[in-house]
Amino acid sequence: MDFKIENIGNNVKITLNSSTATCFFLNTPILDGKNIGCIGELEINNYDDGIKLIKKCEDILREKEVKYIVAPMNGNTWKKYRTLKYSNGDEPFILENVNPIEDNEVLKNTGFNEINTYTSCRGLISDAYKSELIDIAENQIKTENITIRKFNKENYIEDLNKIFNVSKESFTRNPFYTPIERGDFISQYEPYISMIDEDLILIAEKNGIEVGFVFCIPDFNELKRGKPLQTLILKTIAVKPEFEDLAIGNVLLNRIANIAKEKNYLEWIFAFMYSNNTSQKMASRNGAKVIREYALYGKEL
């Protein structure tokens, strides 16, 4: 079997014919006090080659004394991970960058088990949750001296820093969370600055200190298909843990719905939500229905 093996930094890239994968084993998520192994940058163009490739990755990670592997994941959850598991047939939306549905069978048939499920849900903005509880929450955050403002594109580095500060606290409970350097975080978001509408990114602050945010981006894939721009992608909504009881997330979402309707958006997509978490419940409350399911796989060595 003619594998091509390359050491690229701390990672090992493996190629078999036209299929490739990279083994990550340093700076990966921690499990039981040890770094897990990740099989990522996975491109499988032939089922049989895919099986052989995954097994070779296991051999290499075993040599690195890895005890547990997740796939597909490009080293951590800040980068590309997950496979498409189910689609209702809707066209792909912007930022939807996951492994193809065919990769599920390769992973299952090499002994991997599905460990996490994620969903994307689509709904009408006109069905946004309406309740006097939103008004109560609005009044409560005013009492707490919490204000909400739009993103400032002219000073985007400062506002990305604020989003980073909330994210690093809010996401620590997510499966396979790993810390990320501030500079790396900002460099991931910078490419989107030119395409964002600052009215559709809101930051909640208490006495000038960030406590929550919602980050939305229009689905520009609609324009590429020659259709009108009418769908909004809810990429991230996050609140610092100590402020979650104030329903800031619901207030942010309600304000986004009002702004989006004024801008003639008709639908929104709650993207890449971990099953059973707060965001998924929020999507359901707002009448959004599942259009995609994604999977992450794991295997003990």
What are the pLDDT digits (tens) for 88-111? 999 999 999 999 999 999 999 999
What span, in angstroms and rounded, lies between the C-alpha atoms of 295 and 71? 9
205 contacts: CB under 8 Å, gap ≥ 6: 146, 147, 148, 149, 162, 211
pLDDT at 285: 85
Comma-separated ranges of CATH 3.40.630.30 domains in the chain? 123-294
Q: How many CB atoms lie within 10 A of CB 7?
A: 8
pLDDT at 191: 87
CA 267 to each of CA 37, 57, 117, 214: distance values in angstroms, whole numbers, following the listed order: 38, 41, 23, 16
Exposure letters 284-299 (e unless 16+ CB within 10 A, then b): eebebebbbbbbbbbb
pLDDT at 277: 67
Structural class in CATH, domain 123-294 = alpha beta
pLDDT at 200: 97
What is the per-residue pLDDT across 185-221, written as a single tens digit (0 to 9) for each?
Answer: 999 888 888 889 999 999 999 999 999 999 999 999 9
Tokens of 118: 């994620």
pLDDT of residue 298 exceeding 80, the answer is: yes
37 contacts: CB under 8 Å, gap ≥ 6: 23, 24, 25, 28, 61, 64, 66, 68, 69, 70, 301
Query: pLDDT band for position 183 (50/70/90)?
Result: very high
Query: Is CATH 3.40.50 the classification given to domain 3-117?
Result: no
Provide the CA 216 distance to its chain's centre, in angstroms: 12
Tokens of 29: 């998520």
What is the per-residue pLDDT across 42-79, written as a single tens digit (0 to 9) for each?
Answer: 999 999 999 999 999 999 999 999 999 999 999 999 99
Q: What percent of the chain has pLDDT over 70?
A: 99
What is the per-residue pLDDT across 241-287, written as a single tens digit (0 to 9) for each?
Answer: 999 999 999 999 999 999 999 999 999 999 999 876 677 778 888 88
Mean pLDDT of the chain: 94
Residue 129 pairs in a beta bridge with: none
Query: pLDDT band for position 1 (50/70/90)?
Result: low
